[in-house]
Amino acid sequence: MPIFSASQLKKVRIISQLTYANPFDAARIGYERQLLGKRFRGDHATWSLNLDAIDLHNINAIYDITKSLVTAARDAMAKNKLPDETELNLYEDMVFYLLYENTRESLEQMLANPNVLSDSRQMRVIYQRFESQFAAYLQLPDITMPSGHQPAHVFAVFFQIRRAFENIYTCMVGRSQPMSQLRQSVWQSLFTHDERRYVRSLYTRMADFTTLITGPSGTGKELVARAIGQSRYIPFDPKSMQFAEHHTDSFFPLNLSALSPTLIESELFGHKRGTFTGATSDRKGWLEVCPPLGAVFLDEIGELDQTIQVKLLRVLQTRTFQRLGESKNREFAGKIIAATNRDLAREMQDKTFREDLYYRLCSDIITTPSLAEQLADDPQDLTRLVGFILKRLVAADSETLTPKVIEQINEQVGTDYPWPGNIRELQQCVSNILIRGTYQPFVWQNTIEPMQALKDATCNGKLSADALLNQYCKLVYAKVGSYEAAAIQLGLDRRTVKKRVDAIEST
């Protein structure tokens, strides 16, 4: 005998969709509108950070509907009304939605105060409250739930969802379509496009998928990497009342462009004492320090020396590595996240980046949008971003300062300024205005792109060999962004590169 009426079933199906929906997808808001009808409040297309007080009207209304439907269905089953398989699946989905909302305040407390996570007494209170509700709704006489999920697993998934939501919602600001797409993409990187399947089986396999983050400099690639690295699934042990690892100890970043090849190998793989000058003791690298549920972030992967590319490829293929100076294989069980602002397709064509490494990195690609792309889609994002930056710098005065800073930005750089430094430049712009009351963007002395300048000069056939080398040094320096990196790529010393670049800029 059915446990849902025809009118109830329509609502139940929508709640089932909400349970596993990507919260940053427009479809999520669509489900809310369908369920609430005229009770829906707001004009937003997707969820994005609101610097004012968060309006929980829609969430509370959905909760009330869900609780009423779950209670009615459970009462019907208590009166020996047996649901069919479809109804039971829908009921379980609704219960998961209800349990999450019932536990949300505790999850927020766990996230805001790390001491709660390490206090087994507080965790016991939180988990036992959750477990008793889980049993009341899902462990019913003579009825077996379809998923077979254990309460500890569901609790761990709930905490992962809360961490992921906070890391994405509070850090990736803006209502533009490019930013909305970024939030969706990061969530999908964590839970895949099929969250139901993720919760059922893929949650243990996500380290097998390497994430590659591409985008211009200053667009928050490390922010995205950190959100992913600190939002992975971590099992909960109901005996010890502890999670297997602490989420804040799970992210290990390494900026490859800032180090020499030897130091990169040492930082990544570790080394044995005496392997090179300065190696006075054995040292563990990030691959060894990183726990199985952690993530190593390789920033500027496009800068990686070809020899190290081969070693990294081996890590991704075999999950093993060796310290410098050793032959012993060690296992790496964590996740690799990489980022670059380079055009890897061009790098592969030029044979500076290995194709086989790229195809090991590209199973999950996220692209961070430029600030210009965001503002072209929604100019109001500038106000939102400035407000966000000011709230972190001067929380008490941020509301009154935001319109003043925006006015100065518009006066000094104009509304069509391309923001070549992206969010990083905007942060410095806001800081300049707070300190100096003004912002002067950096202006290149030579407005012609280095590649175009070299191309034009070569085609004209009027360059001396020395001038040609100067132009090429300028091109490489503009591409890699530092004299040190340019020197390595050119096979010259840093002073020579700087001298030749200066020779171009002084003409």
| Alpha-carbon distance values, 413 to 31, 176, 381, 408, 431 (Å) | 41, 21, 16, 8, 15
Nearest CA to 297 out of 256, 359, 252, 341 is that of 252
**Predicted pLDDT of residue 451:** 66
| pTM of the predicted model as reported, rounded to 2 decimal places | 0.85
Q: For residue 272, report the phi and psi dihedrals to the nearest 5 degrees.
A: -95, 145
Number of domains composing the chain: 4
Q: How far apart are CA 389 and CA 434, in angstroms?
A: 11
Query: Domain limits at 340?
Result: 221-367
| 111 and 136 co-located in one domain | yes
Q: What is the pLDDT of residue 447?
A: 46
pLDDT for 70 beyond 60 = yes
The least confident of 13-17, 266-270, 274-278 is: 274-278
Asked if 68 and 166 sit in the same domain, the reply is yes
Same domain, 67 and 168: yes
- CA-CA-CA-CA torsion sign (117, 120, 126, 128): positive
Q: What contacts 46, CB < 8 A, 6 or more positions away?
A: 24, 25, 26, 28, 29, 175, 180, 183, 184
Q: Looking at residue 255, which CATH number applies to its domain? A: 3.40.50.300
Q: Is residue 110 in some structural domain?
A: yes
Side-chain half-sphere CA neighbours of 342 within 13 A: 25
Give the residue, 457 or 120, on which the prediction is more confident: 120
Q: If we measure between CA atoms, which residue out of 114, 128, 116, 73 comes closest to residue 95?
A: 73
Is residue 453 predicted with pLDDT exceeding 70? no
Per-residue model confidence as pLDDT tens digits over 168-177:
999 999 999 9
Task: Let me know if residue 132 belongs to a domain.
Answer: yes
The more confidently predicted of residues 272 and 90 is: 90
Alpha carbon distances (Å) from 282 to 272, 273, 286, 321 = 5, 5, 14, 16
Q: Region 273-291: what's the mean pLDDT?
A: 84
Q: Which pLDDT does position 114 carry in this prediction?
A: 87
- Residue 488: the pLDDT is 82
Mean of all residue pLDDT scores within the chain: 91
On whether residue 216 sits in a domain, the answer given is no
Q: Report the range of poorest mean pLDDT among 137-141, 292-296, 333-337, 464-468.
A: 464-468
Whole-number Å distance between alpha carbons of 69 and 15:
10
In the structure encoding, which two tokens stand for residue 148, read together? 């077979």
- Please check whether residue 504 is in contact with residue 470, taking contact to mean a CB–CB distance below 8 angstroms: yes
Please check whether residues 240 and 226 belong to one and the same domain. Answer: yes
The reply to whether 388 and 288 lie within a common domain is no
Handedness of CA 103, 104, 109, 112 (dihedral sign): positive
Q: What is the mean pLDDT of residues 486-492?
A: 85
Residue 69 in any domain: the answer is yes
| Residue 461 pLDDT class (50, 70, 90 cuts) | confident
Mean pLDDT in residue range 368-372: 94
What is the C-alpha separation between 303 and 398, in angstroms, rounded? 39
Domain membership of residue 469 (yes or no) is yes
24 & 58 share domain: yes
Last residue of a domain, one of 392, 411, 436: 436
Residue 10 lies in a domain: yes
Please report whether residue 20 resides in a domain.
Answer: yes
Res. 462 pLDDT band, cuts 50 70 90 = low
Is the model's pLDDT at 220 over the cut of 60?
yes
Tokens of 35: 């369920």
Query: Do residues 378 and 327 both lie within one domain?
Result: no
Report how far apart, in Å, the C-alpha atoms of 465 and of each of 220, 472, 489 are. Answer: 40, 11, 19
Question: Two tokens at 74?
Answer: 């459970």
Are residues 272 and 337 both part of a single domain? Answer: yes
Residues 33 and 168 in one domain: yes
Banded pLDDT at 369 (limits 50, 70, 90): very high
Residue 443 scores a pLDDT above 70: no
Give the model's confidence band at 1: pLDDT under 50 very low, under 70 low, under 90 confident, else very high.
low
At 102-119, the pLDDT tens digits run: 999 999 999 999 899 999
Q: Are residues 45 and 22 in the same domain?
A: yes
Q: Which long-range contacts (CB under 8 A, 24 or more apart) does 141-144 make?
A: 143/77, 143/82, 143/83, 143/88
pLDDT at 468: 87
53 pLDDT tier (thresholds 50, 70, 90): low
Within this chain, do residues 166 and 240 fall inside the same structural domain, yes or no?
A: no
| Any domain includes 443 | no
Average pLDDT over residues 396-407: 93
* DSSP-derived 3-state class of residue 480: helix
Confidence of residue 503 (pLDDT cuts 50, 70, 90): confident
- How far is it, in rounded angstroms, from Cα 355 to Cα 270? 26
**Between 444 and 244, where is the model more confident?**
244
Domain boundary among 163, 196, 229: 196
Which range among 26-40, 187-201, 314-328, 430-444 shows the weakest confidence by mean pLDDT?
Answer: 430-444
Residue 274 has pLDDT above 80, yes or no: no
Q: Are residues 192 and 274 in the same domain?
A: no
Q: Model confidence at 230, in pLDDT bands (50, 70, 90)?
A: very high
Domain boundary among 315, 335, 367: 367
